[in-house]
């Protein structure tokens, strides 16, 4: 009888402990894309170019070219042709634009997507991962940022025209492809200027520093007082005329 009572009490204690932990243990929400700091999906492996979710114009341009051009050569035994090399470099430029945009807009504030992008001497001045790191820390000179993006733009235009020539695109299709590339480039360039450069208040509000500088503060108890005009003599507000 005593053993039965002890067993019942032991079971009751165990049940009580279980119920306590069930109701009083803090509930943690499952980490999501936004809470972990990731933005724009995976960087690689989801399609071409890399980070295509943040640069949809890039995949649209590549689709236009791939429908008309075999970038791997004529037959299976043929070596990759020049157009294949142009395609891969152009795809790399689009990947860098997309991944740079992904890292700059990500709430994590770390270099993640751009670190997978290879350096290419034909269109790179600085490794894109280093560009992203300098942008996050806001220590990249405006001139360097302009040169980096101008090189991507100019080289991309050359490669795109070569590929469009190989694909025998008409004028309308060529204009559409160039417009898509310009839109993608301009989008990332504008984002980079806003994220990478330190704010220059002197260039805001049409060049006036009024809107950027901190305004003077006037206490509420002084707003109703008349203007003091006796700076160089006469009676002051206190009645003193400056004479000793």
Give the DSSP H or E segment for 82: helix 82-105
Within 10 angstroms of residue 123's Cβ, the number of other Cβ atoms is: 20
Condensed to tens digits (0 to 9), the pLDDT of residues 12-64 reads 878 777 777 676 665 544 444 433 444 556 666 666 888 878 888 998 999 88
Condensed to tens digits (0 to 9), the pLDDT of residues 62-121 reads 988 888 877 665 544 444 455 688 999 999 999 999 999 999 998 888 898 999 899 999
Taking the model in full, what pTM does it have?
0.64
Q: How far apart, in whole angstroms, are the C-alpha atoms of residue 160 and residue 86?
A: 8
The single-letter DSSP state of residue 221 is: G
């Amino acid at each position: 009888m005593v053993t039965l009572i002890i067993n019942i009490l032991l079971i009751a204690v165990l049940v009580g402990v279980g119920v306590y932990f069930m109701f009083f243990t803090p509930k943690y929400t499952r980490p999501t894309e936004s809470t972990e700091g990731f933005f724009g999906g995976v960087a690689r492996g989801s399609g071409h170019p890399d980070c295509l979710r943040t640069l949809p114009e890039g995949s649209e341009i590549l689709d236009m070219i791939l429908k008309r051009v075999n970038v791997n050569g004529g037959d299976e035994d043929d070596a990759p042709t020049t157009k294949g090399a142009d395609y891969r470099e152009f795809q790399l430029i689009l990947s860098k634009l997309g991944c740079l945009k992904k890292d700059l807009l990500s709430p994590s504030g770390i270099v993640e997507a751009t670190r997978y992008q290879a350096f290419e001497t034909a269109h790179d001045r600085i490794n894109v991962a280093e560009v992203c790191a300098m942008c996050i820390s806001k220590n990249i000179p405006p001139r360097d940022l302009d040169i980096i993006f101008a090189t991507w733009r100019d080289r991309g235009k050359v490669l795109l025209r070569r590929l469009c020539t190989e694909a025998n695109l008409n004028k309308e299709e060529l204009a559409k492809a160039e417009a898509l590339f310009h839109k993608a480039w301009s989008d990332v360039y504008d984002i980079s200027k806003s994220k990478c450069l330190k704010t220059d208040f002197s260039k805001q509000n049409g060049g006036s520093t009024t809107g950027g500088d901190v305004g003077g503060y006037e206490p509420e108890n002084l707003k109703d007082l008349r203007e003091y005009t006796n700076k160089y003599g006469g009676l002051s507000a206190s009645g003193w005329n400056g004479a000793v």
